[in-house]
Structure 1
Amino acid sequence: MAENRPVLLDVTCREGEQRPGCSYATEQKAEAVRALDRLGVEYVQVGFPIAGPQTDDVCNAVAVDTKLTGIARAVPRDIDAAVDAGVDVIDVFAPTSERQRTELLGKDEDELRSLVGETVDTARETGLEVHFTAMDGFRTDPGVLDRLFNSITAEYLTIADTVGAKTPFEVSSYLDELTTDPSQLGVHFHDDLGVATANALTAVTQGVQKVDVSVAGIGERAGNVPLEEFVVSIATSDAVSPPAIDQSTLIPRANDVLDSLDESVPGEKSILGEDVFSHESGLHTAAMLDDPSTFEPFDPSMFGGSRTLYFGHQSGAGAARRLLIRAGIDPTDNSVDRLLEELHNLDEPVPTEEALDIAQRL
């Protein structure tokens, strides 16, 4: 196993509010931060301090070990606002691709490098930890990004796939072209092509140190790298060491974040959906009564989750036989048929314990 252990920066509170019509109250954000702190996430991005007083309010409302970060444009008043808000980390950002740099800033490469350098230096003079994020970084010429990164000093230099345009193949080739030490790098992906998690996994296998994530992928447009998908994918492989969080509480803590923000996910959502570890198919439940791993990629209890086996009209003789054995009843052809008749006549499927009760009443 490689020694690299990714560092997580959770962006749920900020990215979630960038969706049309979405906003969170101060206490909602504070509760989310506390849940992420209990999980052990290293950084939590609270908001955009210059946009209003809420970042300050959240920072004052929590006492946590996780480092609270606020984003700041490369302008002095944004740095001042971040300091006044009480964040632990100032994350300076600026557009670096030719398209966004010229459209949003109207500056050439040298002017951009000067602007970012001066702003990062100003941020560092505050004594706070400083990160820099290259907005639209993955559409920036690698040479341009290397020159920019080499001109500044920050704890992490994050490359953002701002429009969600990249795939793992392109992420891999792009990182290969950079000369910047990957242990200094972070990545920020959007899921517009449905490959944000795969992109993040590709990045960390190439030595990238920090990954921006959000619970359930909540974020602008198609969302960001889902924290739970990223953690579970690494924990169930041997490509890199897993993030230093409490994996055993991953699912309940993620659900705490969703509850605090009044967010929900579809039943089929990977890792967090209520249907993900529920099984009714006759073939599946019959086998899983003996060996759950037959039809599961991992034991959900590793991450604080649980499975539910259901029995009803889809149940077959194999499942009925195993239920009878568990209930201490001889699984004769007659008892199997009687139990199947009871299960098939149910209005809706029942979980294992209720199915065992039915078997014991035969």
Structure 2
Amino acid sequence: MQLTDVTLREGDQMPGREYTAEQKIDCVRALDHLGVPFIQPAFPATGEKDRTVVSELSGTTDATIVALARALERDIDAAVDAGADVVETFVSVSDRHLEHLLDASREEMLTMLTEAVDYIDERGATPHVTLADAFRTDHDDLVDVFEAVPKVPFVTLADSVGARTPATVRSSLDRLGDDVDFSRVGVHFHDDMGCGTANALAAYHAGVAKADVSVASLGERAGNSSLEEVVVACAVDLGDDLGIETDELVPACRDVLDTLDEEYGDRKAILGGEISEHESGIHTAAMLSDPATLEPFDPAAFGGERRLVFGKPTGNDGARKLLERAGLEPDDETVSSFRATLAERGPLELDEALSLASREFGD
């Protein structure tokens, strides 16, 4: 499964956000260095800023630069004229969206889509297609859309309002696989019910070719499938790094968030500082012997860091192991004394605790 990063386009659409062209360009450089194969930073028809972003990036990245466009010639012209490698055009496909958003019949929508794809071809760009509200669309209607655009490399199914869970995503995709070549299928999920990353993983197992992701789930409403969560889950549980430079994942994502002035919590999965911090006496004692006892992965494998904290909660086992790691052979009295010292001077990080052990209890 390949990834398309949509952080910069989706994030810029959140209320109160207005990323600059420079911010977007800097973030694309970081994501490109990370090895993300497709990056969708802009919607050029929205204004000069997004046209500048695509123009400045054109021909300068290993990643394919994708520009979003409605199925309108003026949108497509804005994307192509800016120099996008791929123009991703989108249409609504569910009955509800056709009636209330597009105000068009299904036949009119298919005509709009096929004409837009043909026009992108004529303009010399590669067309991709996103089908809005696809997971609330009848199966046969989805198949009709795929058949209407047989030469489009990727057709992305969007769960536009985050209304699906992994079980229904998998059942929908399994059925679709009987009629559609999955080498052409992409997915785009929203996290309104907290299922964005889980749904992307369900789609991975179903065999889709591509998934949209965003750093720290930045995106409209509750956001999108998390880039860092999808990558780590696939790497740790499935042995597939998705082609990403995993040892740079955490710092690259943090750099993107810092560049955009976006905050993330200390307990944010993968990125938060507290997710690999341990202070409990039982935990730290075990971590000194084998960190995998209480961690799903070594944070260093993804560019993160582990933090062990010692102080009042440290028990006899933890104190003994610290003393032994400091090169000492402690008796019970020394262990008890060291525990009291840790309680008095803590909390201390591992290096500080080892230094204290050597200084206070060494020969």
In which range does the TM-score fall when normalised by the shorter chain?
over 0.9
CA contact (8 A) 1:67 1:88 kept: yes
Mean alpha-carbon deviation: is it higher for 52-61 or for 213-222?
Answer: 52-61
What does residue 352 of structure 2 align with? Answer: 354
CA contact (8 A) 2:54 2:67 kept: no
Cα distance in 1 for residues equivalent to 2:169 and 2:214:
20
The alignment's TM-score, normalised by the length of structure 1, stands at: 0.95
Cα offset for 1:264? Answer: 2.1
Cα distance in 2 for residues equivalent to 1:111 and 1:231:
39
Task: Give, as a single letter, the amino acid of the residue that structure 1 aligns with 2:152.
Answer: A
What does residue 327 of structure 2 align with? Answer: 328
What does residue 133 of structure 1 align with? Answer: 130
Q: Which has the higher helix share?
A: 2
More contact order relative to length (CA 8 Å, sep ≥ 6): 1
Question: What is the DSSP-based 3-state SS (H/G/I as helix, E as strand, rest coil) of the residue aligned with 1:37?
Answer: helix
Cα offset for 1:56? Answer: 2.3
Cα offset for 1:59? Answer: 2.7
Identity of aligned residues (%): 48
Tell me whether 1:260 sits opposite 2:259 in the alignment. Answer: yes
What does residue 206 of structure 1 align with? Answer: 206
What does residue 165 of structure 1 align with? Answer: 163
The alignment's TM-score, normalised by the length of structure 2, stands at: 0.95
What does residue 95 of structure 2 align with? Answer: 98
Among 83, 87, 96, the alignment partner of 1:86 is 83
Task: Give, as a single letter, the amino acid of the residue that structure 2 aligns with 1:149.
Answer: F
What does residue 196 of structure 2 align with? Answer: 196
Between the two proteins, the alignment pairs up a number of residues equal to: 355
Residue ranges of structure 2 left out of the alignment (5+ in a row): none
Q: For residues 291-323 of structure 1, what are the alpha-carbon distances to aligned partners after superposition, in whole Å with 9 as ceiling and x for unaligned?
A: 110100111122122211111111111110011
Task: Give, as a single letter, the amino acid of the residue that structure 2 aligns with 1:164.
Answer: G
Task: Give, as a single letter, the amino acid of the residue that structure 1 aligns with 2:208.
Answer: V
Question: What is the DSSP-based 3-state SS (H/G/I as helix, E as strand, rest coil) of the residue aligned with 1:159?
Answer: strand
Task: Give, as a single letter, the amino acid of the residue that structure 1 aligns with 2:166.
Answer: P
Residue ranges of structure 1 left out of the alignment (5+ in a row): 1-5
Cα offset for 1:177? Answer: 2.4
| Misfit runs of 4+, over 3 Å | none
Cα distance in 2 for residues equivalent to 1:354 and 1:242:
35
Q: For residues 72-129 of structure 1, what are the alpha-carbon distances to aligned partners after superposition, in whole Å with 9 as ceiling and x for unaligned?
A: 1111110011112221110000111000111122211111111111111111222212
Tell me whether 1:33 sits opposite 2:28 in the alignment. Answer: yes
Cα distance in 2 for residues equivalent to 1:204 and 1:357:
47
What does residue 106 of structure 2 align with? Answer: 109
What does residue 184 of structure 2 align with? Answer: 184
Cα distance in 1 for residues equivalent to 2:313 and 2:37:
45
Cα offset for 1:228? Answer: 0.7
CA contact (8 A) 1:53 1:85 kept: no
Q: Please give the residue correspondences for 1:1-362 in structure 2 after superposition, counting only pairs within 5 Å.
A: 6-62=1-57, 63-152=60-149, 153-178=151-176, 179-238=179-238, 241-346=240-345, 349-362=347-360
Please, what is the CA RMSD of the aligned residues?
A: 1.2
Cα distance in 2 for residues equivalent to 1:172 and 1:226:
19
